[in-house]
Amino acid sequence: TSIAHDAACIFCKIIKGEIPSFKIIETPLTYSFLDIQPISQGHILIIPKYHGARLHNIPDEYLADILPVVKKLTKVLDLDQYDKLSDIGYNVLQNNGSIAHQVVEHVHFHLIPKKDEETGLI
């Protein structure tokens, strides 16, 4: 369960299991799951188990737990027909504010496999 959560937030509901998700890795402070509208196969979202809309709202201990999870995902995620992300390319993306294309108001990092030239960024 999240320590600071917003009952109306879709990602807080995912953390609590109130909305189903395809979980990839979970730690005491971090939750990761497949994006429902993937930009490429294996597109993952990594979120703090703390409700905050922008990066600057998240306590350091939560932020410090996230990048090691991203790193682990690049080594363990085995894409169908492709090598691990650590052997190919990938983008890590984190949007803050609607002007920066943020839609969901709970901080999230995108991990987007870059398997061919056609795979775009958000």
The yes or no reply on residue 10 touching ligand 5GP (CB under 6 A) is yes
Q: Nearer Cβ to ligand 5GP, position 36 or 76?
A: 36
Q: Which does 121 bind (CB under 5 to 8 A by kind): ligand 5GP, Zn ion, none?
A: none
Q: Which stretch binds Zn ion (CB under 5 A): 1-9, 25-33, 59-67, 73-81?
A: 1-9
The yes or no reply on residue 13 touching Zn ion (CB under 5 A) is no
Q: Which stretch binds ligand 5GP (CB under 6 A): 29-37, 50-58, 64-72, 84-92?
A: 29-37
Q: What backbone phi and psi angles, to 5 degrees, belong to 114?
A: -115, 90
The whole-angstrom separation of Cα 57 and Cα 106 is 10
Q: Which of 31, 33, 90, 109 binds ligand 5GP (CB under 6 A)?
A: 33
Phi-psi region of 17 (alpha: psi -120 to 50; beta: other; left: phi over 0): left
Q: Which residues ranging from 54 to 83 are in contact with Zn ion (CB under 5 A)?
A: none
Is 108 annotated in the active site? yes
The whole-angstrom separation of Cα 108 and Cα 36 is 14
What positions carry a catalytic annotation? Answer: 108
